[in-house]
Structure 1
Amino acid sequence: MEDVSRVGSMTSKGSSIESSVVLSERSLKVEMPPELLRGVYLHECLAQWGKHWASSDTVERASDVRLSRPTQRIDNFLSHDWKTSRWLKLAALLVVFNSRAAAVGTLLVSVGVGILRASHVLPDEAWTVAIGHATWVCIFFGWQRLRSFCRPRTVFLDKLCIAQHDVALKEQGILGLAAFLAIADELTVLWSPRTLQRLWCVYEISTFLRRPEKRKQVKVMPVKLALLLCVNSLSWFVVAGGYSVISNKSSREVTWTRTLLGSLCMCFAAVFLPWTYYVGIGMMEDLSTLPKQLSNFRIQDAESTCCSRRHIHPETQQVVPCDRELVFATLQQWFGRPGDAPGKYLVDFNLLVRKELAPSVLKSVGRDHLPVWYTLYMAVSGSTPFLSDCISLLAKGPPANLSSGGTVIWGTRTFISFAYVPVLAILATRLNLCFCWHGFRMAHHSACRSRFCLAVLLSQLGVIIIATFWALFFISSNHVEASSWIPIVPFLLLLATTAILFRTGCI
Structure 2
Amino acid sequence: MGRRLLASFQSLHTEAEKADLQKLSCLLAAMTESGLQAVVGTPSEVSEDSAQDCLDSLFLERLLEMMTQMKAIRPEIVRGIPVHRFLRRMPCKGLAKQHRIFYGRSKVTKQLDEFWSHSWRTKAWLKYVNILFLNNGFPAFVVGTLCALVAFSLSLAGILPLQRTVGPANAWCTIAGSIGYYMTLLLWPSRKLAFLDIACINQEDETQKSEALLSMGAFLRCSKSLLVLWDETYVARLWCIFEMAGFLHSKGPRADKSVLVCPVFVGPALFAGNLGLSVLLLALLCADLPLFPWAGIFISAMVFPCMVLFAYVVLVHCRSIDVVQHQVRHFTFEHSLCHCCESGHVDDNGGEVSCDRLIIFRCISAWFGSVDAFESLVQTRLLKTLVCQLANQVFSYWRIVQATIPAAWAILDLHESRQDAAAAVLQTMLAAVNYPFCVLPICSLLMLRMAYGVRSLGHSKWTQWLLSTTLIAVESLLFGAYFLCEQALRQLSDDHFGNWLPAHLVALILMGAVTLVLWRHLPAIEMHWDSTSNS
1:449-460 map, 5 Å: 449-460=462-473
Residue from 312, 326, 340 that aligns with 1:278: 312
Q: 1:251 matched to which residue of 2?
A: none
Instruction: Give yes or no for the alignment of 1:133 onto 2:166.
Output: no
Instruction: Give yes or no for the alignment of 1:222 onto 2:301.
Output: no
Q: 2:434 matched to which residue of 1?
A: 420
Q: CA deviation at 1:131?
A: 0.5
Q: 2:10 matched to which residue of 1?
A: none
Q: 1:382 matched to which residue of 2?
A: 406
Structure 2: segments with no counterpart, 5+ residues: 1-27, 35-44, 163-168, 527-535
C-alpha separation between the residues in 2 aligned to 1:79 and 1:506? 24
TM-score by length of 1: 0.74
Larger deviation, residues 188-197 vs 326-335: 326-335
Contact 2:127–2:229 (8 Å) recurs in 1: yes
Q: 1:469 matched to which residue of 2?
A: 482
1:14-413 map, 5 Å: 24=54, 29=67, 30-47=71-88, 50=91, 54=95, 58-59=96-97, 61-124=99-162, 125-129=169-173, 130-143=175-188, 146-147=189-190, 152-212=191-251, 215=255, 216-238=257-279, 240-241=281-282, 244=285, 267-292=301-326, 302-305=336-339, 323-336=356-369, 345-346=373-374, 349-350=377-378, 354-355=380-381, 357=382, 359=384, 362-366=387-391, 370-379=395-404, 381-386=405-410, 388-389=412-413, 398=420, 413=427
Q: 1:178 to 1:272 in 2, by over 3 A?
A: same
Larger deviation, residues 190-199 vs 236-245: 236-245
2:397 counterpart letter in structure 1: V
1:371 counterpart letter in structure 2: S
Contact 1:473–1:490 (8 Å) recurs in 2: yes
Q: CA deviation at 1:139?
A: 1.7
1:428-507 map, 5 Å: 428-438=443-453, 440-444=455-459, 449-478=462-491, 480-481=493-494, 483=497, 485-486=502-503, 488-502=505-519, 503-504=522-523
C-alpha separation between the residues in 2 aligned to 1:458 and 1:73? 45
2:433 counterpart letter in structure 1: A
Q: 1:192 to 1:261 in 2, by over 3 A?
A: same
Q: 1:3 matched to which residue of 2?
A: none
1:441 partner SS = coil
C-alpha separation between the residues in 2 aligned to 1:368 and 1:292? 20
1:374 counterpart letter in structure 2: R
Larger deviation, residues 285-294 vs 131-140: 285-294
Q: 1:117 to 1:443 in 2, by over 3 A?
A: same
C-alpha separation between the residues in 1 aligned to 2:98 and 2:211? 16
Larger deviation, residues 486-495 vs 30-39: 486-495
Contact 1:36–1:70 (8 Å) recurs in 2: yes
Q: 1:370 to 1:8 in 2, by over 3 A?
A: farther
Q: 1:387 to 1:500 in 2, by over 3 A?
A: same
Q: 2:23 matched to which residue of 1?
A: none
C-alpha separation between the residues in 1 aligned to 2:110 and 2:504? 56
1:77 partner SS = strand
1:433 partner SS = helix
Q: 1:329 to 1:168 in 2, by over 3 A?
A: closer
C-alpha separation between the residues in 2 aligned to 1:8 and 1:436? 53
Contact 1:368–1:505 (8 Å) recurs in 2: no
Q: 1:402 matched to which residue of 2?
A: none
Q: CA deviation at 1:197?
A: 2.7
Contact 2:274–2:402 (8 Å) recurs in 1: no
Q: 1:487 to 1:77 in 2, by over 3 A?
A: closer
RMSD of equivalent CA atoms = 4.4
Deviation per CA, 1:291-338: give whole Å up to 9, x if none. Answer: 5556676656643346668x77699999987644543432332233xx
Structure with more contact order per residue of length (Cα contacts < 8 Å, sep ≥ 6): 1
1:164 partner SS = coil
C-alpha separation between the residues in 2 aligned to 1:220 and 1:289? 16
Q: 2:38 matched to which residue of 1?
A: none
Contact 2:171–2:285 (8 Å) recurs in 1: no
Q: CA deviation at 1:260?
A: 8.9
Q: CA deviation at 1:442?
A: 1.9
Q: 1:504 to 1:474 in 2, by over 3 A?
A: farther
Contact 2:230–2:264 (8 Å) recurs in 1: yes
Larger deviation, residues 85-94 vs 482-491: 482-491
Q: CA deviation at 1:136?
A: 1.1
C-alpha separation between the residues in 2 aligned to 1:321 and 1:193? 27
1:450 partner SS = helix
Contact 1:219–1:361 (8 Å) recurs in 2: no
Identical aligned pairs, as a percentage? 20
Structure 1: segments with no counterpart, 5+ residues: 1-6, 249-253, 337-341, 400-406
TM-score by length of 2: 0.70
Contact 1:240–1:421 (8 Å) recurs in 2: no
Q: 1:183 to 1:464 in 2, by over 3 A?
A: same
2:486 partner SS = helix
Deviation per CA, 1:9-35: give whole Å up to 9, x if none. Answer: 99549xxxx988899479785313333
Q: 1:19 to 1:163 in 2, by over 3 A?
A: farther
2:468 counterpart letter in structure 1: A
C-alpha separation between the residues in 1 aligned to 2:410 and 2:429? 11
Contact 2:321–2:387 (8 Å) recurs in 1: no
Of the two, which has the highest radius of gyration? 2
